[in-house]
Amino acid sequence: MTLDLVIRDGTILDGNGGPGFRGDVGVAAGRIVALGSVADRGEREIDAGGRAVAPGFIDLHTHYDAQVAWDPHCTPSCFHGVTSVVMGNCGYGMAPVRKRDRDYTLGLFSQVEGVSKSTLVRGVPFEWESQDEFADWLEARGLGINVVTQVGHSSVRRFVLGEAASERPAQEEEVRAMERWVREGLSRGAAGFTTSRVPHQKGEHGEPIPSFVAEESELFALAGVLREFDGRVLGINPRSKARDFDAEDREQLVRLARHSGSAVNWNEFNQRWDYPDQWSSLLDYMEQSQASGAGIYAVMRCQRMDIPFRLSEGDGFVLTDRWKQFMQLSPGEKLSTLADTSLREGLARDIDAAFFSAEPLPRRIGVARAGSAGNAALEGRILAEVARERGVDPAMLFLEIALEEQLETVFAFCGVSNGEDAAVETMLRSPATLTGISDAGAHLHIACGADYPTYFLAHWVREKQAFSLAEGVARLTAEAADFVGLADRGRIRAGAAADLVVFDPEEVRPQAVELRDDLPGGESRQFKRARGIEFVVVNGQVAVEGDTLTGNLPGRVLGRA
C-alpha cells in the first residue's frame, strides 16, 4: 500500500503530555492511519531524524476574520506551526452582515482591531451575508490552514437592530431574533459565542460598540443558547478588565458560566505594572470558581508585551506641547529639530522622567530593530542599560540614535506587560489559563503576536525549562483542542486529522520583527518568521516547507455540519 505521506524517524510528541517516542507517522486521505514503524511507502516522505513531530498548534484567540479573505494562509501564524485558528473573538466578525451594514462593519473592525479601513475595503469582498455563506465562500476560494468560527455579539446585534444596535436596548422580539441567529451559527459549527463589554472600545465615529449597549438580560439570553450545544464556549471582555477587574465582573462571569452551562474565557490575562497584585488575585478567583463548578478561564499571552514604534510616526510621546508639536512635523523637519543640540536637549528633558528615569519602569524603551548595521548590537537592548554602560544620558542617547538612523530605528516600549518571568510562569502553569492570545490579524502596524508558539517553545520550554517539551506541546495542541471541542485535532493518534508540525527543538524560535508593505493597497504590517519550523502539514498536505508556502490549500472551516 502507498500512503500519501510518511514522516520518518521523528520524536513523536502526541499532545498528551507524556514522553516522546521514536517512530513514523503515516498519512492517507487527510488522516493519520499508522504510527510507530510504518512499512508502507509514501508518495511524499519526510526524514524527521533528530526532529520533533507534534500535532499542529491551535491558536485560540485571533482576529483573522478580515485577513483570511485576502490571505488564505493566515500569515505569519502558519510559519510558526499553527494549523488551526479560532476567530470571531470579542464579538466581532465579517458575518453575519447585511449589505447596508458592510461599510459600518469594516469601520468598526478597523477602529477596534487596528486595521486600516482602506486595507479592509480593498481586501474584503463581502460576497456573503450569513456566517454559513461566509464559510462556503472561504472553502470555495481555498484555505491554507483551518479556521474555527464563533458567533459575535456585536455582529449579530447590528444584523438584527441595524443602526439602533449602538443606540438602545433591544426589544423582546429583537432578543428572540438574535437568539435565532446565535443558534443558527452554533448549529452550523461555530465553537462559541463571544462578546465585549469594555467601554474603551468604540465604533468608527466614536459611538459605543453594539454589545456594550446590550442590557445584561440580553447577554444572558444569548449566552443561554449555548446550553443547547455541548462543548461550546463563551468568550467575553469584561467591563472592568482594563482597570481593576472588579468584584461585580467576577461575579457576573460565574453567573454566566452557570447559566450557559459552558466554559467562560476572558482575555487577555497579563502580569501588569499598573496593578501589580492583580494577576495573583485573578488566579485565585478563577481556580476557586473552577473548584465550585463554574469554569472560568483566561486566555493569556506568554510573551513579554513590547510595543514597537518609530519617531517618524505615531503619538506615543505627546506628553508636552513641545513633543506634540514635534510629532506633527514632517520627517525632514523632525531631523532638522533633532540636529539642533538645544532643541534635542529640551525634548530629552521632557521625556526623561516618564520613560527613562522612573523605577520600576512601567515602560522601558529599547531597540527592536536597528536602522543601520553599525547599531545591530543594540537590538533587544534596553537603552537605559546601554546609557549606563556608556556614561551618557539615556533620553539623549535615544534621540541621537533616531537622528543617526534618519528615523528608521524601530524602538519599542518593552515590558508593557508580562515583564516579570516568575509571575508569568506561575500564571502559565495554572489550570485556569490557556496559552495563546496572538491577536493575529489585528493591530497589524504595532504588534505581531503570531509568534507565541515558537516563543513558548524557545523561552518557556528550552531556556527557562518551566515545561518539558512534551508538556509544552500539550499546552499548544491538545489543551487548546479540548477547550474548543476539536475532537479530531490536537493529538497524534490513528484516525485523527493529519495536522502536524515537524520542528527542531534546539533551534525553534521567532525571528526579529520586520515591516512588510504587503497589505491590500500596499500598507505595512509587523511580521515575524520562525526558525526551526521545518514542515507544517494541514489535513495531510504540506502547507509550509521551511520559509516557503507550498501553494497547497488543504484547510477547512472546522466544525461544520
Amino acid, res. 280: S
Most confident of 269-283, 372-386, 436-450, 468-482: 468-482
What value does the mean pLDDT take over residues 175-181? 98
Q: Determine how β-strand 514-516 pairs with β-strand 525-527.
A: antiparallel
Across the chain, mean pLDDT equals 94
Nearest to 300 by CA among 477, 458, 512, 452: 452
Cell matching residue 374:
553599525
186-228 per-position pLDDT tens digit: 999 999 999 999 999 999 999 999 999 999 999 999 999 999 9
360 or 254, higher pLDDT? 254
DSSP 3-state of 277: coil
- In this predicted structure, the answer to whether residue 298 has a pLDDT above a threshold of 70 is yes
Would you list the domain boundaries of the chain? Answer: 57-302+418-463, 307-417
Nearest to 500 by CA among 472, 533, 475: 533
Q: Is 195 exposed, middle or buried (0-12, 13-18, 19+ CB in 10 A)?
A: buried
Q: Determine how β-strand 410-417 pairs with β-strand 305-309.
A: antiparallel
Q: Is 100 exposed, middle or buried (0-12, 13-18, 19+ CB in 10 A)?
A: exposed
Is the Cβ–Cβ distance between 417 and 271 less than 8 Å? yes
Return the axis-axis angle of helices 383-390 and 394-404, rounded to nearest 10°.
100
CB atoms within 10 A of CB 514: 15
Three-state SS annotation for 315-377: CCCCCCHHHHHHHCCCHHHHHHHHHCHHHHHHHHHHHHHHHHHCCCCCCEEEEEECCCHHHHH
What value does the mean pLDDT take over residues 229-246? 94
Is the Cβ–Cβ distance between 125 and 180 less than 8 Å? no
- C-alpha to C-alpha distance for 192 and 252, rounded to whole angstroms: 18
- In this predicted structure, the answer to whether residue 561 has a pLDDT above a threshold of 70 is no
- C-alpha to C-alpha distance for 251 and 450, rounded to whole angstroms: 32
Is the Cβ–Cβ distance between 448 and 71 less than 8 Å? no
Instruction: Return the half-sphere exposure (C-beta side, CA atoms, 13 A cut-off) of residue 210.
Output: 28
**CA dihedral for 245, 251, 252, 258, sign (positive or negative):** positive
Q: Determine how β-strand 2-12 pairs with β-strand 41-47.
A: parallel
Beta bridge partners of 549: 544
At residue 363 the predicted structure's pLDDT band, cuts being 50, 70 and 90, is: low
What value does the mean pLDDT take over residues 493-505? 98
84-127 per-position pLDDT tens digit: 999 999 999 999 999 999 999 999 999 999 999 999 999 999 99
Kindly give, in sequence order, each residue whose CB lies less than 8 Å from that of residue 392, ignoring residues fewer than 6 positions away.
none
pLDDT at 458: 98
- Angle at alpha carbon of residue 13, lines to 9 and 15, rounded to 5°: 150
- In this predicted structure, the answer to whether residue 543 has a pLDDT above a threshold of 60 is yes
- C-alpha to C-alpha distance for 304 and 271, rounded to whole angstroms: 9
pTM: 0.89
**Which CATH architecture fits 57-302+418-463?**
Alpha-Beta Barrel (3.20)
158-170 per-position pLDDT tens digit: 999 999 999 999 9
